[in-house]
Structure 1
Amino acid sequence: MQTITAVQKQKGLGSIQFLPVNLFASVMGISGLALAWRQASKLFGTSHVVADIIGIVAIVAFIILGLAYISKWILYPQKVKAEFMHPISGNFFGTITIAILLLSSVIGTYSQVAAEVIWIIGAVTTLSLCFIIVARLLNGNIEHGHAVPAWLIPGVGTLDIAVAGGSMPFPWAHEINMLSLAIGGIVALIFLTLILSRLIHHDPMHTGLTPSMIIMIAPFEVGFLGYANFEHRIDQFAAILFYFGLFLFIVLFFKVFKKSIPFGASWWGVSFPLAALSNAALQYAMFINSWPLIAVSAIILVLLNIVLVVLFIRTLKALFNGTLLRG
């Protein structure tokens, strides 16, 4: 009787075959929030316990999603292949590799050796995925409607190699970080141009993809963090990256955060760009030590917390009412 009830409950939740890969963006956002609270402890004197708890949540979320997606891969390999080959959803596989990179920074607090191993795995998989995606796009015959902000994820992912690897002790880490900044910077610049051209000159994107527009701030804020970690300083170029990303976020905020846009897994796409903005704002505020910037960094951190809590609650609600894993 209990078995029948369990089966019925599983059916009610939906099927693992419909688990979207872009849910790994939640790990990116939660990891970014943990790192932001670490920065906040330096600027505002908040407890490290907050960052530690959020970091544990990020690790647990990655393990759960990882096991679930591996199950999907084993049980429904064609579904995973179709998702990977899709010109839009295929880019969201970058959320897995970026999540690994960010978790290396989260875990670094507890074990430097584990952080180094995880960073190497993340760096190799991120560079490999970026190569695959760029090579696939160069095959040609890409519809203009497929030029969406999700294109930026694999390219921006290489910037995260430098974000997480700025303190790696390996003698070759410097060149890997330089390679990653070069690839991520140029790819992001080219793709962002194509995406803006598509958004300006063609029909608006599907409503379900609207939240992903926030991804367009990622090259600037992640670029700021990667450049600052690589150079171990903040200069005028870094400041320009930060300020334009902040400006673009303000522009996009009023286009994305609308009640008319239905909730879906794609909403998690706003989490990491916002987390990157929060980390950049906190780091820049500490460098400038100006109260307006400190206030801005506090506002963005509060907003990040609110957004992630709302997304977490709505995701759980969608899971248990059966809409999250429904085809």
Structure 2
Amino acid sequence: MTTVTFRRSTDTVSSVAAARTPVQSRNAVRPSPAPGDALRSLGPNWFAVVMGTGIVANSAATLPLQFPGLRAAATVVWALAALLLVVLSVAWVAHWRRYPEIARSHGAHPVMMQFYGAPPMALLTVGAGTLVLGSDVIGMPAAVAIDWVLWSVGTALGLLAACAIPFRMMTRHNFDADAAFGGWLMPVVPPMVSAATGALLIPHIPAGQPRMTMLFLCLAMFGLSLIAAIATITVIWSRLLHHGLPAAGMVATVWLVLGPLGQSVTAAGQLANVAPTALPDRESAGLDVFALIFGVPTWGFALLWLSLAIAVTYHTRKTMPFNMTWWGFTFPLGTCVTGSTVLYTHTGANIFAITAVALFTLLLTAWALVALHTLRGIYHGTLFHPAP
């Protein structure tokens, strides 16, 4: 067994961001590489683009404030996310064929391997959007069929990542106390996304044991992801308190903590919504109560973390180089939008509706900013070269 020691994470993560994560140089513009060479720097972290784009569409579809044109715009964004998923999937397969050693090294790298949670979440996000928005375009039967495929593959890959990546961390690497960062959550969050998006499929399953089985599978994935996330968030909180902020290039990963928080609130609420179709009245009523007892306190902590993340980002704004970790501003924030929306549908309390709309406005701003920087980096070729 090969053991790799990961020490002094503030410096190491910075160097990793330069060596493994495509980073845009602030002072230099490099020529665009040939299409084949562009694949060299492709990693699983690129699927965060699909996640961030897809969550904009999904959160818009259920936003408490609906106005003419919003659903049509959300459908266009969903189509864009679906197209990005196809393009990146093809490119990733080509990357594995052309650069197998680099591709395999991602799975062994203490930072890059965390982002193997991104591909399954990209599949799940686009699948949910297909059911919620794509059904208007391709019809409900086709949308359900596509979502089943994407949900099944995404769930299988997500469960594999949730088990394999922590196992590799335990057996292949030694981490110092200051090594923890928000990316550690990426492998354990996909089952929570499966639980939230799987709830949308439950009404399309035959009643009785099949529907009940699906509900309990989603609840089990909710639990395994939640407990793993709580343990990891505790370590990240401790790391920030005892060792300070991460390197400037990794500050955006602080926002990743919002992902399991917002998604767990969303999952609890959506599973409670469909529970009456799968469980007896008493059990389904219990899930409805749990959605509030769990959801509201978790929502409160998510807002606290959001405030801290905004403060940390503002504190380091002048030294933050653009890189692909900036997509961490989008998907986690989007889960807080959907979580607030779910709480509004369960309570009718305007505070949740107002928060959902405010967070969606922030999400749109973040997505536009990060997308613009990404397009600029692709156009100039800087995202395909490690920074000097």
Q: Taking structure 1 as the reference length, what is the TM-score of the superposition?
A: 0.91
CA distance in 1, matches of 2:124, 2:32: 35
Displacement of 1:282 after TM fit?
2.4
Matching of residue 44 in structure 1 with residue 66 in structure 2? yes
Question: Contact conserved, 1:88 with 1:146, CA < 8 A, in 2?
Answer: no
2-structure distance, mates of 1:123, 1:13 = 30
Instruction: Give the Cα–Cα distance (whole angstroms) in 1 for the partners of residues 35 and 154 of structure 2.
Output: 35
- Deviation digits for residues 248-301 of structure 1 (CA, Å, limit 9, x no counterpart): 101211212424311111111221101111111223234333444332221111
Asked whether 1:237 is paired with 2:260, we answer no
Partner of 1:126 in structure 2? 158
CA RMSD of aligned residues (A): 2.0
- Deviation per CA, 1:147-206, whole angstroms, max 9, x where unpaired? 111010111111111110013324431232122112101110111111222222125322
1:107 and 1:12 map into 2 onto residues whose CA distance is 30
Q: Considering Cα pairs closer than 8 Å and 6+ residues apart, tell me whether 1 or 2 has the greater RCO.
A: 2
Task: For 2:78 and 2:151, locate their aligned partners in 1 and report how far apart those are by CA, in whole Å.
Answer: 16
Structure 1 residues 13 and 283, CA gap change in structure 2 (3 angstroms) = same
Q: Counterpart amino acid of 1:70?
A: V
1:185 aligns with 2:244: no
In the alignment, the residues of structure 1 paired with residue 32 and residue 45 of structure 2 have an alpha-carbon distance, to the nearest angstrom, of 24
Residue segments in structure 2 that go unaligned for 5+ positions in a row: 1-30, 136-142, 274-287
Note the residue ranges of structure 1 that are not aligned, 5 or more in a row.
1-7
Counterpart contact for 1:22–1:268, Cα < 8 Å:
no
Match of 2:128 among 90, 95, 105: 105
CA contact 1:149–1:216 (8 Å) conserved in 2: yes
Alignment of 1:316 onto 2:348: no
Partner of 2:194: 161
After superposition, the Cα gap between the structure-2 partners of 1:35 and 1:260, relative to the gap in structure 1 and judged at 3 Å, is: same
- The answer on whether the counterparts of 2:117 and 2:187 sit within 8 Å (CA) in structure 1 is yes
* CA distance in structure 1 between the aligned counterparts of 2:108 and 2:36, rounded to whole angstroms: 26
Candidates 242, 265, 268, aligned match of 2:327? 268
The residue number in structure 2 matching 1:288 is 347
The yes-or-no answer on 1:226 pairing with 2:226 is no
CA distance in structure 1 between the aligned counterparts of 2:362 and 2:200, rounded to whole angstroms: 29
For residue 93 of structure 1, report the CA deviation from its aligned partner.
1.2
The corresponding residue for 1:214 is 255
Which one has a bigger Cα radius of gyration?
Answer: 2
Asked if the contact 1:152–1:188 (Cα under 8 Å) also holds between the matched residues in 2, the reply is yes
Q: 1:56 aligns with which of 63, 79, 85?
A: 79
Contact residue 302 and residue 336 of structure 2 kept, 8 A = yes
* 2:28 aligned partner: none
**Contact 1:12 1:322 (8 Å CA) reproduced:** no
What amino acid does structure 1 have at the position aligned with 2:313? V
SS at match of 1:30: helix
* Correspondence for 1:254 among 297, 308, 311: 311
1:151 matched residue in structure 2? 184
- What does 1:171-182 align with in structure 2 at a 5 Å threshold? 171=211, 172-182=213-223
Paired residue for 1:4? none
Deviations 1:63-82 (A, max 9, x none): 11112221111110111111
Q: Deviations over 1:50-96 (max 9, x none)?
A: 22111001001111111222111111011111112111110111110
Aligned residues: 319
| CA displacement at 1:103 relative to structure 2 | 1.3
Q: Distance in 1 between matches of 2:43 and 2:383?
A: 9
Question: 1:186-240 CA deviation, whole Å, 9 max, x = no partner?
Answer: 1101111112222221253221111010011222111101111222244122111
Matched, 1:114 2:136: no
Percent of aligned pairs with the same amino acid: 21
What is the deviation of 1:130?
Answer: 0.8
Displacement, 1:13?
10
Asked whether the 8 Å contact 2:269–2:346 carries over to 1, the reply is: no
Distance, in Å, in 1 between the alignment partners of 2:357 and 2:131 is 25
Contact 1:12 1:321 in 2 (8 A): no
Verify: 1:28 aligned to 2:51, yes or no. Answer: yes
The answer to whether the 8 Å contact 2:57/2:74 transfers is yes
The aligned counterpart of 1:81 is 104
Alignment partner, residue 194 of structure 1: 235
